[in-house]
Structure 1
Amino acid sequence: MSKSSKFDRRISRRTVLKGAAGAVGLAAGSGAITGFPYVRSADAKVLRYLGTAVNEGDEISKKCLADTGIKIEYITATTDDVTKRVITQPNSFDVLDTEYFSLKKLVPSGNIFALDAKKIKEFDNITPVFTKGQLPNGKKIGDQGTAPWKVLYLEGANSKTFSKTPTEFVTLIPTVYNADTLGIRPDLIKRPISSWTELLNPEFKGKASILNIPSIGIMDAAMVVEASGQHTYADKGNMTKAEIDLTMKIMTEAKKAGQFRAFWKDFNESVNLMASGETVIQSMWSPAVTKVRSMGIACTFQPLKEGYRSWASGFCVSKAVSGPKLDWAYEFVNWYLSGWAGAYLNRQGYYSAVLSTAKANMTADEWGYWMEGKAAVGDIKAPDGTILEKAGATRDGGSYDERMGAVACWNAVMDENDYMVRKWNEFIAA
């Protein structure tokens, strides 16, 4: 046996594979060989995104990955469970998508990290709805409840105290907001609906529903009570114990009389109730109305004379996030405000925090329909491409200025929150 043959025997399988891999790598790098699966590198950019399903979507995460290389891993929970997770498991997420009313619970925990406004490219272009409590045209809007401008800033990077004046330390970078009202099935009701009082109208006994998220449901209940003339609140978002008792007494009496078909907690429940016709009038969110319409079922997000209950949400990060992951979080937030995501959410009936970038990513007809109250020139489509409205249709409630200008209150956490939650749960159990 020759010396060379002895050497050949010592060539291991590992050596052969290593050499082959190198050859393939060279060929693949040259473009000569294709079709090999992508292998994620150890330093791939991944962010765990905690939030409700409202602002999440596969199309958003796919577009983000394509544009930035950041992979979004959604962690979906109900509004209350999101808050609980932030307080008890701050290491279980990276980016938090939550509402401003939750901040009164979250900030004292010290588990969220204030973002630096100077690192947000579009911060100065964020609508004054968030920063000043007014429309771009200067009109002041309702401030009852936890209005976003009341809790937008902290006194310092690690502060647990809200600042009454602007600072660079932002609790939540604004993303989306809306003016909520009642959803109705006009094909089944067959008459005009113009007041929050209709939610308790015996005409709809067994066909009504209210959302079972205490901090939000109590606001809808207050809109009903005040509209009926039974009480006028100094601040629906910060009731006294006596006001909570009165509100829950009225709602409990209606429940015992059989007024409510169900109490929904999430988006899909509300869609199913309305689409099936089990309910004909209920608390609702704009994208749920959009979803029902995309199914070819008549559903109206009904403007009411007493005004809207509004909400707003934004992004922050866990206190555990640092280093490259914090850089990715800033990159993600900046991408989110750059326009594509804002336009996507606008097509569900939301409003983007940065109107100019969303507008740049929508057609003139889309912008006219969703934002300006204009009749659609062509068919209006949902984000998934299904037709929502035929040409000639106008948006429920009209223009951005008309809808946001009619905001009466904001989702809130009250000083008597614990008492309110206890009374709300008694109402649900009654």
Structure 2
Amino acid sequence: MNRRDVLKVGGAGLLLGGAGFPAIVRALDRKPTLRVMGTHVTLQEPIRRRAEQELGFNIEFHPGGSAEVLQRASSDPGAFDLYEQWSNSMRVLWQANAIQPIEVDRLTYWDEINDLPKTGRIVPDAPVGSGDAPHKLLFVQDDGRLGPTPTGRISFLPYVHNTDSFGYDTRVIEPGVPYETESWGWLLDPAYRGRVAVVNEPSIGLFDLALAVEANGLMRFGEIGRMTREEVDELFALLVDYKRCGQFRGVWFSVPHSVELMARGEVVIESMFSPAAAQLTGMGIPCLYAAPKEGYRAWYGVMCLSSVVGSEQKEMAYAFMNWWLSGWPGAFIARQGYYIANPQRSRPFLTPAEWDYWYAGKPAAHALVGVNGQPVAKAGEIRRGGSYETRFSNIAVWNTVMDTYEYTLTRWKEFLLA
């Protein structure tokens, strides 16, 4: 049926006393809408506007804190069409049947995606890092489980990714040397007591603090990304003691919250995401984003299809996923310190100076600005941590949902309440 035929049928229904005609007209005239749930990291208004303009359908972003959106998505797949977060959410979402496989042959740029999410290594001799490296959760195996063996179906679209560490205010803390003196152990330094914050997310903040504990020689893990229940108990016994002694100002729930804490002077050091450090620098606050000698905590962005997404929204979801790897989005997020799965596609959307600074680890040829137009690098400045390859060759652990995850939730709550 074409539109005129449908209206004729609807009109006949109205003349016969049917009540459905107004609803049919509204459904036909309403622009289709894609609902995307995730965090403030990628659900940014400039991205939504650009995608909506280029794709021709409505897009709604529903951002929230990482723990909040994961809980909602895993318990109510009808609340979203696409889900954007990090690979540590995959085990929870998959086991909850909240998401469905993505067909590789419907992804326009799949062959351009580099080896990092497919093998766990950015270069052949790089260490994979402990925990849930993205390739371990990427492919849907023949038995329905997630694993590293390539298949034609994947659990998530690999797109945005980065290495995380901590930021610190150089007006209070003397700048360290990347990979030499900067250390996760600084989070527990008594010199900063009462002025330290960590992210409120058990599968993320737990590793920041575990790396800090290990860096200070307080305990040693068999494998930091696969802690035993006994190791979790020992770790939280230490952390609760530090909390009761006033080491922590508190926890943050989102990127804007972490920015506020340092901007107001409430903290001088905190676990942090790259855009927060860039935003603080743009505000004139000298925040350095550390390259810890112990290695980074890394993460990989996931874009997932709801298990109950409708057919129209599913088509839009694939279009949106392909748009994310089309070039402009990768360049946009590069200016806030993030990487994209197929960098060469985004390179033409960056100036040579931007590419050299963000990806190649070279000095900025001139002053650079970020996504908000604020300065992020001075002329001659080198990005802390170096090149893309260097950063992802220094991974200590990936964001991970461990086998002890449910148990760590209880202990994390105890830590927060201590």
Q: Same fold (TM over 0.5)?
A: yes
Kindly report which structure 2 residues correspond to 1:271-350, keeping only aligned pairs within 5 A, or say none: 271-350=259-338
SS of the equivalent of 1:177 reads: strand
- Please give the alpha-carbon distance, in whole angstroms, between the structure 2 residues aligned to 1:429 and 1:93: 32
| Residue pair 1:110, 1:160 contacting (<8 A) in 2 also | no
- In the alignment, which residue of structure 1 is the partner of 2:402? 414
- Is 1:181 aligned to residue 168 of structure 2? no
- Please give the alpha-carbon distance, in whole angstroms, between the structure 2 residues aligned to 1:194 and 1:175: 29
Correspondence for 2:61 among 74, 80, 85: 74
Correspondence for 1:161 among 138, 145, 154: 145
- Please give the alpha-carbon distance, in whole angstroms, between the structure 2 residues aligned to 1:388 and 1:202: 30
- In the alignment, which residue of structure 1 is the partner of 2:5? none
SS of the equivalent of 2:95 reads: helix
- Please give the alpha-carbon distance, in whole angstroms, between the structure 1 residues aligned to 2:255 and 2:242: 24
SS of the equivalent of 2:359 reads: helix
Correspondence for 2:138 among 142, 152, 156: 152
- Is 1:212 aligned to residue 200 of structure 2? yes
Shift of 1:188: 1.8
| Residue pair 2:75, 2:96 contacting (<8 A) in 1 also | no
- In the alignment, which residue of structure 2 is the partner of 1:357? 345
Shift of 1:291: 1.0
| Residue pair 1:379, 1:391 contacting (<8 A) in 2 also | yes
Higher-Rg structure is 1
| Residue pair 2:118, 2:148 contacting (<8 A) in 1 also | no
- Is 1:48 aligned to residue 35 of structure 2? yes
Shift of 1:43: 5.2
SS of the equivalent of 1:326 reads: helix
Correspondence for 1:84 among 71, 76, 79: 71
* Gaps in structure 1 of 5+ consecutive residues: 1-38
Q: Deviations over 1:231-288 (max 9, x none)?
A: 2222212211111011111111111111111111211111011122211111000011
- Please give the alpha-carbon distance, in whole angstroms, between the structure 2 residues aligned to 1:44 and 1:320: 20
Kindly report which structure 2 residues correspond to 1:86-165, keeping only aligned pairs within 5 A, or say none: 86-135=73-122, 137-156=123-142, 160-165=144-149
- The runs of at least 4 consecutive aligned structure 1 residues that moved more than 3 Å come to none
- Please give the alpha-carbon distance, in whole angstroms, between the structure 2 residues aligned to 1:169 and 1:42: 35
SS of the equivalent of 2:210 reads: helix
Shift of 1:191: 4.8
- Please give the alpha-carbon distance, in whole angstroms, between the structure 1 residues aligned to 2:266 and 2:147: 46
Q: Deviations over 1:337-376 (max 9, x none)?
A: 1111111011100111111112121111001001111111
Correspondence for 2:154 among 145, 167, 170: 170
- Please give the alpha-carbon distance, in whole angstroms, between the structure 1 residues aligned to 2:410 and 2:88: 18
**1:102 partner letter:** S
**1:187 partner letter:** R
**What's the TM-score, normalizing by structure 1?**
0.87
Shift of 1:146: 1.3
| Residue pair 1:287, 1:348 contacting (<8 A) in 2 also | yes
- Please give the alpha-carbon distance, in whole angstroms, between the structure 2 residues aligned to 1:200 and 1:123: 42
* Gaps in structure 2 of 5+ consecutive residues: 1-25
SS of the equivalent of 2:321 reads: helix
Shift of 1:138: 2.1
207 and 220 in structure 1: CA distance in 2 versus 1, 3 angstrom threshold: same
SS of the equivalent of 2:172 reads: helix
- Please give the alpha-carbon distance, in whole angstroms, between the structure 1 residues aligned to 2:161 and 2:222: 24
- In the alignment, which residue of structure 1 is the partner of 2:360? 372
- Is 1:251 aligned to residue 235 of structure 2? no
- Please give the alpha-carbon distance, in whole angstroms, between the structure 2 residues aligned to 1:366 and 1:398: 14
SS of the equivalent of 2:145 reads: coil
Kindly report which structure 2 residues correspond to 1:181-200, keeping only aligned pairs within 5 A, or say none: 181-192=165-176, 194-200=182-188
- Please give the alpha-carbon distance, in whole angstroms, between the structure 2 residues aligned to 1:219 and 1:342: 27
SS of the equivalent of 2:140 reads: coil
- In the alignment, which residue of structure 1 is the partner of 2:7? none
Shift of 1:86: 1.8
Shift of 1:80: 1.6
Q: Deviations over 1:360-414 (max 9, x none)?
A: 2111100100111111111111112222222111111111111111011001111
Shift of 1:143: 2.8
- In the alignment, which residue of structure 2 is the partner of 1:36? none
Q: How many residues align?
A: 389
- Please give the alpha-carbon distance, in whole angstroms, between the structure 1 residues aligned to 2:135 and 2:294: 22
SS of the equivalent of 2:105 reads: helix
- Please give the alpha-carbon distance, in whole angstroms, between the structure 2 residues aligned to 1:164 and 1:388: 37
Percent identity reads: 35
Tell me the C-alpha RMSD between the 2 structures.
Answer: 1.6
| Residue pair 1:107, 1:160 contacting (<8 A) in 2 also | no
367 and 428 in structure 1: CA distance in 2 versus 1, 3 angstrom threshold: same
Shift of 1:142: 3.1
- In the alignment, which residue of structure 2 is the partner of 1:19? none
- Please give the alpha-carbon distance, in whole angstroms, between the structure 1 residues aligned to 2:83 and 2:175: 42
- Please give the alpha-carbon distance, in whole angstroms, between the structure 2 residues aligned to 1:356 and 1:92: 34
- Please give the alpha-carbon distance, in whole angstroms, between the structure 2 residues aligned to 1:270 and 1:382: 18
Q: Bigger CA drift: 85-94 or 408-417? A: 85-94
